[in-house]
Amino acid sequence: MQTFLHGKDLITTQEWTKDELDTVLDVAFELKRARALGIPHAHLRDKTLALLFFFSSTRTRSSFESGMAQLGGHAAFIDHSTTQISHGDTATEIGEIFGRYYDGIAIRNVDWGIGNKYMRDVAAASRAPLLNMQCEIYHPFQILADLMTIIEKKGDPRGKTITVSWAYASSYLKPISVPQSLILLMTRFGMNVRLVHPPEYKLMPDIVEQAKENAKRAKTSFEIMDDFDAGMKDSDVIYAKSWGPLLVTDDDAEGKRINDKYQDWITDERRINMAKDNAIYMHPLPADRNIEVTDGVIDGPHSVVFDQAENRLHVQKAVMALTM
């Protein structure tokens, strides 16, 4: 266990050692048990966290606000449109000022080519740690919650197979930060990772190369597939969700045209039954029901989506307690 993470930014899990990530998981399980038993754990009494949102949220805002309250502190929700950012406040100024007002700064900005750089510029100017609530490249807290859930449901993840697959959705072109963060973290923890997608839905080449290197170091496998059914076969974890063809186009109309070519990429009962009998189905939510996944799967015996959503609370509390 690492005992000094105070002040450390979490922008991507790649920048944390495995020992540090193991510490987060240890603390998350401890805090989950404490909450279940009604044991007070106000580790951040009188601490404050800025929650700066450039993109709407349900689970992220609620879990961070609730988590800070349970830790004895206060989270300030800040919609960017209510600030002076559009009138000239720079990332450096936000970092300097918020870093003096708050004990931590959490940001959600998924604008393509903008979000991650903005966070890093804020972090460079801030004396308080920067927590990435999701950018266009990474979604570290979601993926830590996913790993926690896999450990709860499947035990030691090493040697288990996870299928990280694209799925069709009729809504907006969703960020690629979830699948990218999944392939990075799950390879580090010894899972055999299958990345499954149509040709237009490739992930960033440097992220894929990092995942390959992670798998090599962990002595596990990482393979890329383009057959949805084949990716399902004999898998322990099915993690199928939509993301946009953002490396091909950022035009919504063109993206929808590409999307609509693959309307049969839905996680249904036939496909979930191709996985192992005790396989689990995961999704970060919200899902396009009966388009991305059938009700029978997301509400069925394989689904762990609500346990997965709950674990966002616990991993976030762990990171906040350790870094703030």
Calculate the dihedral angle through the C-alpha atoms of 244, 246, 249, 250, rounding to the nearest 10 degrees.
Answer: 80
Q: List residues bridging with 225 in a β-sheet.
A: 196
**Banded pLDDT at 307 (limits 50, 70, 90):** very high
Per residue in 177-206, pLDDT (tens digit) is: 999 999 999 999 999 999 999 999 999 999
Q: Token pair for residue 206? A: 């440097």
Q: How far, in Å, are 111, 174, 185, 207 from residue 216 at the CA level?
A: 32, 29, 13, 14
Task: Delineate the domains of the chain, giving CATH numbers in brackets.
Answer: 13-139+311-323 (3.40.50.1370), 142-308 (3.40.50.1370)
Q: How confident is the model at residue 165, as a pLDDT?
A: 98
Please count the other Cβ atoms lying within 10 Å of the Cβ belonging to residue 218. 18
Q: How confident is the model at residue 174, as a pLDDT?
A: 92
Q: How far, in Å, are 223, 229, 252 from residue 104 at the CA level?
A: 38, 44, 35
Give Cα 182 to chain centroid, integer Å. 7
Q: What is the DSSP string of 194-226?
A: EEE--GGGPPPHHHHHHHHHHHHHHT--EEEE-
Instruction: Indicate yes or no: pTM above 0.85.
Output: yes
- For residue 173, pLDDT beyond 90: no
- For residue 56, pLDDT beyond 90: no
**Banded pLDDT at 146 (limits 50, 70, 90):** very high
Contacts of 51 (CB under 8 A, 6+ apart): 61, 64, 65, 75, 76, 77, 78, 106, 133
Per residue in 9-29, pLDDT (tens digit) is: 999 999 999 999 999 999 999
Q: Token pair for residue 279? A: 């396989």
Cis status of the peptide bond prior to 286, with omega within 30 of 0: yes
